Amino acid sequence: MHGYQITFFTRQDRRHEGKPLGEWLIQVAKQLGLRGATVIPASEGFGKSGRIHAARFFELTDQPIEVLMTATKEQADVLFARLAAADLKLFYVKTPVEFGEIGAGEP
């Protein structure tokens, strides 16, 4: 299959509709029928403002996270329409990819 690998960059403390943003994005991906999505915590990073965000022992809320998912073109179109309707400001990277499964064993 061909589609996109989409990576969203945000922080642990961001929320949308009462949920952590990473969790909300995972739920949206599941609702749209994507094959999977993963939240990846990072130890440190910076964004457009140049401010360093980091996971520290006493302050994990500032921890940067990535939400990674793979989608067909059609799923990506619906996903971005849903994000636009939610009025979220969110940095992303969208890369064309080929994806699929090999082997007959259990995942």
Q: What are the residue ranges spanned by the domains of the chain? A: 2-98
Higher-pLDDT residue of 106, 86:
86
Computed over every residue of the chain, the mean pLDDT equals 86
Paired tokens of 58 = 């006493």
Which of the four pLDDT bands, split at 50, 70 and 90, describes residue 35? confident
Paired tokens of 90 = 């969110």
> Is it the case that residue 3 has pLDDT exceeding 80?
yes
In this predicted model, what pLDDT tens digit does every residue of 49-93 receive, in sequence order?
A: 666 556 555 555 567 889 999 999 999 999 999 999 999 999 999
Q: In what order do the strands lie in the sheet with 91-98?
A: 37-41, 64-72, 2-11, 91-98
Encoded amino acid at 80, one letter? F
CB 28 within 8 A of CB 79: yes
The pTM assigned to this predicted structure is 0.81
Which of the four pLDDT bands, split at 50, 70 and 90, describes residue 2? very high
C-alpha dihedral, 94 to 70 to 63 to 18, nearest 10°: 100
Fold of 2-98: Alpha-Beta Plaits (3.30.70)
